[in-house]
Amino acid sequence: MAWFGASKQSAQAGQDKDVESEVLFQKGLDEMNRAVVLAPDSPSVLLPQGATLLSLSTAPISPELSKKLLRQGVEDYEKVLRLQASYFATLPLHARGELLSGLADGWHRLGDQGKAREYYLRIVKECAGSPYASNSEIWLNHRVSTDGYPTCQGCHVK
């Protein structure tokens, strides 16, 4: 259900301005929300919703909607991190790196540089020797424009 709501079709619909696309976009958001109501403590539900919302928040949509989606995406990721705390260190690098990077990016874009820095530091420590750590060090050393944001470094971009 969460993956259906997060489908590319609903993501693209939010960028269009016609009524049919706006309805489809809202249906996608509603479907993800229903999935969370049914399984509020499931990383398998929270992760696709969080990832979709973090991504959609960068789309050409109203600033109010963008901030709302960004905040919800960060909340989803924070909850997943709490749920996975007891076994987080045993997760594959991709799972750890993407979650922590999403949190660093989300907090950065929400304007909480202290919280973003905490996650960048955690990435450097917990994902040492990886592109996640290298990119976080770049951010920590202010060698990247503060207007930009980190992108997914996992399997989707190869």
Q: pLDDT of 47-105, one tens digit each?
A: 999 999 999 899 888 899 999 999 999 999 999 999 999 999 999 999 999 999 999 99
Count of domains observed in the chain: 2
Query: Quick one: pLDDT band at residue 12, thresholds 50, 70, 90?
Result: low
Q: Which domain holds residue 119?
A: 90-158
Domain match, 104 and 71 both:
no
Whether residue 77 sits in one domain with residue 1 = yes
Q: Looking at residue 79, what is its pLDDT?
A: 98
Note whether 6 and 77 are same-domain residues: yes
Residues 120, 64 share a domain: no
Mean model confidence pLDDT for the chain: 84
Which of the listed residues 43, 62, 83 is the one where a domain comes to its end?
83
92, two tokens: 């594959």
- Predicted local confidence at residue 16, as pLDDT: 54
Q: State whether 110 and 58 are in the same domain.
A: no
Q: Name which residue leads in pLDDT, 112 or 4.
A: 112
Q: How far apart are CA 41 and CA 79, in angstroms?
A: 8
Secondary structure class of 112 (helix, strand, coil): coil
From 66, 83, 100, give the residue that closes a domain. Answer: 83
Higher pLDDT, 148 or 87: 87
Rounded distance, CA 45 to CA 51, Å? 10
pLDDT at 21: 73
Split at pLDDT 50, 70, 90, the class of 26 is confident
53 shares a domain with 25 = yes
How far, CA to CA in Å, does 124 sit from each of 42, 100, 138?
Answer: 27, 10, 10
Q: Are residues 147 and 94 in the same domain?
A: yes
Is the distance from CB of 100 to CB of 130 less than 8 angstroms? Answer: no
Co-location of 10 and 40 in the same domain: yes
Q: Give 135's contacts (C-beta < 8 A, 6+ positions apart).
A: 101, 150, 153
What value does the CA radius of gyration of the chain take, rounded to a whole number of Å? Answer: 16
Q: pTM (2 decimals)?
A: 0.83
Which of residues 48, 83, 118 is at a domain's end? Answer: 83
